[in-house]
Chain A
């Protein structure tokens, strides 16, 4: 009885099931979040109240608890939650849960019941998501940062190379950005960077990845895209940026970009080779007078 009081005040969910998955114990925390009273659910099969839990994974988990006496750990990352409970932290539909399932044993050591411990980790998940965003995104423009780009480029490179799929890269740079900064000030410069980034992003498709690669240089990974199609997108990007008026307080100016485009080919061993080809093309675009798209030289 004393223990029961403890179980009812702790800030975690506690459920005990028998081998037929009937509820034998349901603490107050569970009542609070499910709206189901202890008297209502005790003696009933858990899955009758929560049909959505009846997955292959859950079945497997319970089997391994009863068969081996194993513990099952369900991370919020992979499963999000076991019990669909609502909560009010923005960005999450339901309470994120970290769940542990384990055996309760008879005197002869065989598991006769299972416990389920449910922890609300929504706040942690939100914090983690924020940290994660901060670690992969560029603070000023909101597009990905260079480190993330390099990881992804390597992954995409390896994958596309393995399956012989097309993969292209666009590297672009704002023309005469230094003089924009010198003429209108850094604040305006920052505004232009943000504007160019968002215009470029609007031109891209859902699965494309864009990152700020250097000061005023950006890089886009275009999965499943041939060189020809990448050039079409690059050209559209160039026109969209060129036609956009950058208005900030009482200052207004237009900028242009130079773009280099490359495509994954047989001879490239690493993602750096793919990037290098785009960089060479970008260099040619600058050299040939800027505000243009240049395709890599074929080898």
Chain B
């Protein structure tokens, strides 16, 4: 595969990444159906390179009224560092929680229901994010480790949030897909934000992937 500039991606590399994402998310949905008894439809993923500092603006543009959303955030690292953001609109959140409760039949000793709802969202987020990120890593022969996820509000997606994770002027790879629960009016957005610190390792992984077909 031709790669000239070592600090950015060629069109072909982006196309390959997109295809790998496509495959990863396809496998993730099929496997998720087996793990959680729910059919999850993942839309064709899109990929963009953006400045880290414009993350919030980007997400806001993608999903519209961000304030109406709740976000599950989970950090992960393999050859590169990244953070997954799973955004549900408030109505979807409640339905999703109800659905998972039915499925698990878990008992609760509620002090504040809001807090438990958050914990529930965290578990759901952990499964969805884990499936998508792990499949992607598997195809790129990477191994990822996850940090416990947490719920954040849209306000927390501030500059400080970005600065704590990425160099704000640096660029990040933004992967995005919309997931939908089949048979229900229920959808959310999944963003994977990867640092480009290790662009070389990613390029190497892509080359490796290509080699299988050369």
Contact partners of A60 in chain B: CB under 8 A? 35-36, 104, 127
Any chain B CB within 8 A of the CB of A73?
A: yes
Which A-chain residue is minimally distant from B76 (CB atoms)? A71
A247 is an interface residue with CB less than 8 A from chain B? no
Verify B115–A77 contact, CB threshold 8 A.
yes
Q: Does B123 contact A (CB under 8 A)?
A: yes
Output the least CB separation between B75 and chain A (Å): 11
CB <8 Å contact, B103 and A56: yes
Nearest B residue to A72 via CB reads: B126
The answer, yes or no, to whether B82 is at the interface (CB within 8 Å) is no
* Inter-subunit contact B134/A69 (CB<8 Å): yes
Q: How many residues of B contact A (CB 8 A)?
A: 35
Q: Does A132 contact B (CB under 8 A)?
A: yes
Known: A73-B149, A77-B115. A67 touches B126 (CB 8 A): no
- Map CB proximity to B onto A79-90 as digits: 1 under 8 Å, 0 otherwise: 110000000000
**Contacts A109-B141, A132-B111: A64 and B35 contacting too (C-beta < 8 A)?**
yes
Which A residues are in CB contact (< 8 Å) with B36? 60
Within the assembled complex, what's the spacing in Å between the Cα atoms of A267 and B55?
41
- B197 proximal to A (CB < 8 A): no
User: How many chain A residues touch the partner (CB < 8 A)?
Assistant: 25
Contact B138 A109 (CB under 8 A): yes
Contact residues in B for A80 (Cβ distance below 8 Å): 109
- Report chain A residues within 8 Å CB of B109: 80
Most central of B31, B127, B130, B145 by chain A CB within 10 Å: B130
Q: Which residues of A contact B143 (CB under 8 A)?
A: 69, 105, 109
Q: How distant is the Cα of A97 from the Cα of B122 in the complex, in angstroms?
A: 17
How far apart are the CA atoms of A68 and B24 in the complex, in Å? 11
Indicate if the CB atoms of B127 and A64 lie closer than 8 Å.
yes
Cα–Cα distance between A135 and B189 once the two chains are bound (Å): 34
Q: Specify the chain B residue showing the minimal Cβ separation from A77.
A: B119
Tell me which residues from 120 to 167 in chain B have a Cβ below 8 Å from any Cβ of chain A: 120, 122-123, 126-127, 130-131, 134-135, 137-138, 141, 143-146, 148-149
B126 to chain A, nearest CB (A): 6
The 7 closest A-B pairs by CB, nearest first: A70-B130, A78-B119, A68-B134, A71-B146, A73-B148, A63-B35, A69-B134
Asked if A78 contacts B106 (CB within 8 A), the reply is yes
Docked complex Cα distance between A53 and B131 (Å): 23
| B98 CB-CB contact with A under 8 Å | no
CB distance from A71 to the nearest CB of B (A): 4
- Report B-chain residues with C-beta under 8 Å of the C-beta of A155: 113-114
B34 at the interface (CB under 8 A from A): yes
Minimal beta-carbon separation of B109 from chain A (angstroms): 7
For residues 118 through 160 of chain A, which have their beta carbon under 8 Å from a beta carbon of chain B? 129, 132, 155
Query: How many angstroms from the CA of A129 to the CA of B115 in the assembled complex?
Result: 13
Q: Which B residues are CB-close (under 8 A) to A67?
A: 31, 34-35, 131
